[in-house]
A = this chain, B = another copy of it.
Amino acid sequence: MSSKNLLVISQITDDQKNVIKKMGINVFGIDDLDVQVSKNEINILYGWNKKIGLDIINADHSSLEWIHAISAGVDSIPMDILSKRNIKLTNASGIHAESISQSVIAFILHFVRGIDNAESNRLNKNWITNENTQPAIISDFDYLIFGTGHIGQQIARLLKSLGGHTTGVNTSGHPAEYFDKTVSIKNVSNQLIHADVIINVMPLTDSTLHYFNYDRFASAKEIFLFINVGRGPVVESKGLIKAINDGTIKHAALDVFEEEPLKSDSPFWTLPNTIITPHNTGVVRHFKNKQMRIFLPNLEQYLKDGTFKSNQVNLNSGY
């Protein structure tokens, strides 16, 4: 068997390149395409770019076998084509769990512990200590987390350590670590009427697109806090904006949006009681190293027997 050709789309360090080469792999960069190596000779893509990726997949006599996506969400990759061509897909699920879950706890504590009130009192030079401004604690609220994968589990684990009660929502209601309870998304309406804090970390699939819309929010109990750190299009923008503006949702923290970046005239910037972050809660320092801790063991295993140690994406479910 001739050695495999790997195309690096997402940057890696020279040291990392050398480690891969020592495993008998030919490593190419984008500039090498059609110069050092032709598109139909690429076996492995490290990273994903829609234009380059589709060019390689659709090349005559394409040899592409495996794409490693460096994000957890892989909704920009055409699963149906991969499935048809028998191209395997791995992702970086898990790598963002620590940083995203810490942002989620930051958002929750911000509103639960009244840092929003403190900030407006500071601006008004106003020392207020009456009963109405007594901060709550985590255990005063119920938490409903849509998505029980790595990220959802880390959020549940941290909420538990803070005394919070969590219910996880997934496709079948199967149990998941750290959650007090899980339910199937089909039976979620009974949960919505009890939840104070709703957190979305679901992947974007055909069935989650615009899952959260105005009617969904209105069918819940008054929502103390809605957090979206999953995927923007899982939430219908207009319905979300309406629900925040009319008080159906009292507070919100939003990291992802249907259209990114937000334009300067976006209505999201001026929503009341809302934290906006620029799709950066999942940003990971030392990202390249952490990525390699997923990719290299998978590469080693794949060269042996064509399987993966972890993080293979099911092309039907999309995660």
Shortest Cβ distance from residue A232 to the other chain B in the assembled complex, whole angstroms:
13
Establish whether residues B112 and A109, one from each chain, have CB atoms under 8 Å apart when the complex forms: no
Establish whether residues A162 and B277, one from each chain, have CB atoms under 8 Å apart when the complex forms: no
Q: Which of B103, B136, B162 contacts A158 (CB 8 A)?
A: B162
CB-CB contacts below 8 Å: A80-139 with B: 98-99, 102-103, 105-107, 109-110, 112-115, 118-119, 121-122, 125-129, 133-138
Q: Which of B119, B274, B281 contacts A113 (CB 8 A)?
A: B281
Establish whether residues B161 and A157, one from each chain, have CB atoms under 8 Å apart when the complex forms: yes
| Residues of chain B contacted by A278 (CB below 8 angstroms) | 118, 121, 127-129
Establish whether residues B105 and A115, one from each chain, have CB atoms under 8 Å apart when the complex forms: no
In the complex, A127→B122 CA distance in Å?
Answer: 25
| Residues of chain B contacted by A99 (CB below 8 angstroms) | 135, 137
| Residues of chain B contacted by A118 (CB below 8 angstroms) | 275-278
In the complex, A115→B93 CA distance in Å?
Answer: 24
Establish whether residues B276 and A102, one from each chain, have CB atoms under 8 Å apart when the complex forms: no
Shortest Cβ distance from residue A142 to the other chain B in the assembled complex, whole angstroms:
16
**Known A106-B109, A125-B266, A127-B260; further 16 A-B contacts with Cβ < 8 A:** A99-B137, A102-B137, A103-B135, A106-B112, A106-B113, A109-B109, A115-B277, A118-B275, A119-B275, A122-B275, A122-B276, A129-B279, A134-B280, A134-B285, A140-B285, A158-B161
Shortest Cβ distance from residue A233 to the other chain B in the assembled complex, whole angstroms:
17
What 0/1 readout, one digit per residue, does chain A (223-235) give for beta carbons within 8 Å of chain B?
Answer: 0000000000000
Given A157-B161, A163-B98, A275-B115: A264 and B125 within 8 A (CB)? yes
Establish whether residues B103 and A134, one from each chain, have CB atoms under 8 Å apart when the complex forms: no
How many copies are assembled? 2
Q: Which of B110, B125, B135, B138 contacts A115 (CB 8 A)?
A: B110
A193 interface contact, C-beta 8 A: no
| Residues of chain B contacted by A279 (CB below 8 angstroms) | 129
Query: Which chain B residue lies CB-closest to A163?
Result: B98
Establish whether residues B281 and A125, one from each chain, have CB atoms under 8 Å apart when the complex forms: no
A269 interface contact, C-beta 8 A: yes
What 0/1 readout, one digit per residue, does chain A (259-283) give for beta carbons within 8 Å of chain B?
Answer: 0111011100100001111111101
Shortest Cβ distance from residue A143 to the other chain B in the assembled complex, whole angstroms:
14
| Residues of chain B contacted by A128 (CB below 8 angstroms) | 278
Query: Which chain B residue lies CB-closest to A126?
Result: B264
